[in-house]
Amino acid sequence: MKTLALFRHAKSDWGDARARDFDRPLNKRGRKGAVLMGRHIRDYGLQTGQKWSRIIASPAVRAAETAELAANGAKNGGGYGSGSNFAVNWDRRIYLASSAVLIDLLREQEDGSDSILMVGHNPGLEDLIFDLVPDDGSSPLRDIVEEKFPTATFAVLELDVTHWRDVREGCARLVHLTRPRDLDPALGPGVED
């Protein structure tokens, strides 16, 4: 079995209409959400014994800031990587990638990494969940994702594969899902920065 965690970048700043999409930073609410979710990812790991053996992320500014702020939020408990290390493998293919591209990227991963944390974007991450987790009514968490996969949401999938190269549609179970608003209602929809 392999474990895949998906962490969508936090809320970004749309204040500069001239900025390239790739260069958009996080806004104030996004920075707060990234730190909060970093603590949650740490606590999830402590409760389940889960350590992320590999972290891969989009190098887009909003994803990079999310990963770095989450790591800072998690530091008071050993970080959310292996031990206290926080080594991100930046991969531009994650930026605005489709589910098919993300599956190809997963299939390239070495089997020495049994658990991967991927920091990326929608709609790719959401579509990846839809492709990997069967729509057979057995996952109430999948139903929540169908409603919305908001910014800074953290999802954990267990993949019924021995090797990453064997990742295929329908091979996963969605076992955990947390949105920032689940931890702090002030980070929910309709709340201004």
In this predicted structure, what is the pLDDT of residue 86? 63
Instruction: Give a yes or no: residue 24 inside a domain.
Output: yes
How many residues would you count in the chain? 193
In this predicted structure, what is the pLDDT of residue 108? 97
Instruction: Give a yes or no: residue 99 inside a domain.
Output: yes
> What is the CATH classification number for the domain harbouring 27?
3.40.50.1240
In this predicted structure, what is the pLDDT of residue 82? 40
Q: Whole-prediction pTM value?
A: 0.92
Instruction: Give a yes or no: residue 192 inside a domain.
Output: no
- Check residue 33 and report its DSSP letter: H
User: How do the pLDDT tens digits run along the chain, 193 residues long?
Assistant: 999 999 999 999 988 777 899 999 999 999 999 999 999 999 998 888 888 899 999 999 999 999 999 999 888 544 454 444 568 999 999 999 999 999 999 999 999 999 999 999 999 999 999 999 999 988 899 999 999 999 999 999 999 999 999 999 999 999 999 999 999 998 988 766 5
Domain around 34: 2-13+20-110+117-134+174-184
In this predicted structure, what is the pLDDT of residue 139? 87
Give the distance from CA 10 to its chain's centroid. 10
- Check residue 166 and report its DSSP letter: G
Map residue 35 onto helix, strand or coil. helix
How many domains in the chain?
A: 1
Instruction: Give a yes or no: residue 147 inside a domain.
Output: no
In this predicted structure, what is the pLDDT of residue 85? 53
In this predicted structure, what is the pLDDT of residue 125? 98
